[in-house]
Structure formats: C-alpha cells, structure tokens
Chains A and B, each alone.
Chain A
Amino acid sequence: MRTVFAIVLLAVVGLGIGLALLDVPFGAPKTGIGDYYIEHGREETGAANTVTAVVVGYRAFDTLGEVTVLFVAALGLGAVLAATGGGSEKREVEPASLVLLTGSRFLFPLIMLFGAYVFLHGHLTPGGGFQGGAVVASAFLLLYLGSRGRRVSRTWSTATEALGGLVFVVLGLVGLAVGGGYFLSNFMPTGALNTLLSAGVIPVIYAAIGFKVGSELAGVIHDLVEET
C-alpha cells in the first residue's frame, strides 16, 4: 500500500519536473552568472581554475557553511556514539595480513603527499581542500585497517579540526577589517596566473580546509572504529 502510494506520488512529481525541464534544454549555452565568472574569474580572483574561483572567491560564504556542516556532522557522530559508551564486548579483531601491514606503512606517506598536492594546487588544477582532505583521511583509514593498535590521537585531530575552521573565519574577518570592508574579500596579492603563489588568500583557505577535512574524517573513522 505504501509502495503504491509512493510510486504514484513520485510519478506526479517526475511529470512536473519533466514539464519544467522542457524550458532548460540540455547542453545549450546559458547566459547568467556562469558566463561572468568564466570571463572575469581570472582578473578578479587570480585563480586559473574557475570552479575554485567560484567556490573560494565569489561564493566563499557557502564554502564556510559547507565546512561548518561537516564539522556539525563529525561532532554529532561523536556525541551520538559517546553517549554512555556501554557494551565493551571486545570483538576479536583479526590481525591484518602481511601484505596489508607492509603496504599500508609504505603507502601512508605517499597518500598524504598526494592529498597535500591536491589541496595546495586547488587553484591551478582540478581539486581543492575537500578533495585533498578526503584523500588524506583515506590514508588514515588505511592505517587503521593495516596496523595493529596504531591510532590517531583524538586530541590532536580535534585541535587541528577546530583550528582549521578558525583560520578560515579569521581570514574572513581580516578581509572585513583590511580589504575594503567586505567579509571574505581577497586581501592578499594576486600574483602571476598559474603559479603556486597566486590567487591571494585562496590557497591559504584551501590549505586550512584540507587540514580540517583530513583530521575531521580521520576523527570520524576513529569514532566508528572505537565505538565498542
């Protein structure tokens, strides 16, 4: 009964959306803010990657909100799993095989390096803070899967997480004070296009986000593993 009702409801919604989509042709050139960003993104923000210019330049406030959402989720997960840490039935964890053990120890620094590369070059190539942070966290996941008992210090990961977010907010406030009175304005020199030290405050923000997301997701993995 519920299934039938759901299907009917969805059919109606789908039909409505389909009718509306007749006005949005697929693949046609669109005029709007997208064009402006492609035309002027390079001069106004200094980033070669227009998506980064949009994410951390024009719509940096959204990125601040996004960083906060991830923060909320990590905190919420910690709070839900921490409430009365009861059942400590120590499950027998099968020790990792030799291949996994050696492989994870070898790959861990390489993956971290790659993650750092992704978030530092967010303004030049596809990538950025969130992608780089996720790669760094996957290095920690490999560590948890491979090594016996090697754990991330929860204090350090919480501190890095909070500091990363704080750096982002502080940079925005400095922009408010210094760069002409607008929150999150780009107050650092823009530099030459396509070099690492260009785009003003964008690589700094992405580095802060990269650290934050990496330590945050590592903390989430830690909480889920240690929940018994």
Chain B
Amino acid sequence: MSFLHDYAYYIGAFGLIFIGLLVVLAKHNLIKVIIGLSILDTGINLFLISVGYLRNGTAPIFSRPGLDASGMVDPVPQALVLTAIVIGVAVLALALGIAVRLYREFGTLDLRKIKELRW
C-alpha cells in the first residue's frame, strides 16, 4: 500500500502513457487516434515532472529574501516539460489540420477506409 502511495505519480504517468499508446495503436477513427496522442503526451509530461520531485519541496522561486534553497524541487524537468507541452500542442494542431482536410477529401475519418495509396 505504501508502495502505491510512494509511487503514485509514476504509476499514474505510466497508466496514461499505456492508455494513450493503446488508443493510438488500436483505434481507427482519426480523431480518437489524435486524442490518444494527446493522452500519451500528457502521460509523458507527468512522468518528466515527477522525476524532479523532492519530498515536501516548494517551488523554486525566490519571492522573498532568505528562502531556503535546499527545500526546492528541481527546476530542470519543469523547463523540459514547458518545452514538451508546446511541442505536443504543435503536433496536435497540425494533426487536426490534416484531419480537417482529410475529412473534406475522403468524406470519412475511418483510417481503414483512407487507403488511396496502393502498396
């Protein structure tokens, strides 16, 4: 039980990654696949943040003089996740744009039916 409590963030992050990957690999509606990508991104970002956590730590902002530097969480994963969120949004935006055009051209969002290209 304590294991679950200690590692809750890791388990939650991996749960999200697992669900996201499963949706992307197994679903054939393009919008569902894109939602799966979004869940995957969220899971990875959560995992990155939890790597930097310090038990009972505070935010690394020196808003008052004399704050204790040793009680602060690691700022680097937060910077990494900032970048990763933006990159995730960018990919999602492009994917949705392509989905809009695909729907206009093919009339369907079912990936099994979008098979214009022969082998």
The finding on whether chains A and B are genuine partners in a shared complex, rather than unrelated, reads: yes
Decide if A37 touches B63 in the complex (CB within 8 Å): no
Chain A, 30-49, CB within 8 A of any chain B CB: 30, 32-34, 37-39, 41-42, 48-49
Let me know if A180 is at the binding interface, CB within 8 A: no
Per the CB 8 Å criterion, the residue count for chain B at the interface is 45
B53 touches A83 (CB 8 A): no
Number of interface residues of A (CB under 8 A): 58
Inter-chain residue pair count (beta carbon < 8 A):
134
- The yes or no answer to A188 lying at the interface (CB within 8 A) is no
Q: Are A24 and B75 in contact (CB under 8 A)?
A: no
Cβ contacts under 8 Å, B115 to chain A: none
Bound CA–CA A14/B60 (angstroms): 31
**A2 and B26 form a contact (CB under 8 A):** yes
Residues 96-115 of B, flagged 1 when their CB comes within 8 A of A and 0 if not, give: 11101100100000000000
Binds B, one of A58-66, A93-101, A141-149, A156-164: A58-66
A residues lining the B interface (CB < 8 Å)? 2-3, 6-7, 10, 14, 17-18, 21, 24, 26-30, 32-34, 37-39, 41-42, 48-51, 53-55, 59, 62-63, 65-66, 69-70, 72-74, 76-77, 80-81, 83, 86-87, 124-126, 128, 130, 193-194, 220, 223-224, 227
